[in-house]
């Protein structure tokens, strides 16, 4: 599990589409700070299907930054 503190653009040569999985999310407060947690679940082919595979957490600062990135990458989302 990881709480994202900052985003950094990266360059890479590999452009491969990953297989689809299910994603769950929830929010909760810790010391008055709201956190959203996003969990991805393993594909049906994994040894333990539907087990949480990755988790990331964002606070409001990280959420704002991610929204900005998404709006830049997908301009059709609008402001």
pLDDT at 49 over 80: no
Local confidence band at 48 (pLDDT 50, 70, 90 cut-offs): confident
pLDDT at 57 over 90: yes
Digit-coded pLDDT (tens) for 3-46: 999 999 998 888 889 888 889 999 999 999 999 999 998 877 77
Q: Are strands 52-58 and 2-3 parallel, antiparallel or unpaired?
A: parallel
Average pLDDT over residues 38-55: 84
pLDDT of 66 reads 95
Cα dist. 47→2, 9, 19, 51, 53 in Å? 23, 33, 16, 9, 11
Q: What is the pTM of this model?
A: 0.82
Domains of the chain by residue range: 21-77
57: nearest Cα among 33, 73, 41? 33
Dist. CA 59–CA 7, nearest whole Å? 13
């Amino acid at each position: 599990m990881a709480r994202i503190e900052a985003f950094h653009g990266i360059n890479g040569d590999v452009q491969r589409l990953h297989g689809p999985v299910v994603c769950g999310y929830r929010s909760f407060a810790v010391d008055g700070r709201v956190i959203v947690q996003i969990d991805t679940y393993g594909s049906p082919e994994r040894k333990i299907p539907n087990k949480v595979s990755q988790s990331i957490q964002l606070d409001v600062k990280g959420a704002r930054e991610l929204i900005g990135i998404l709006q830049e990458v997908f301009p059709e989302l609008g402001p």
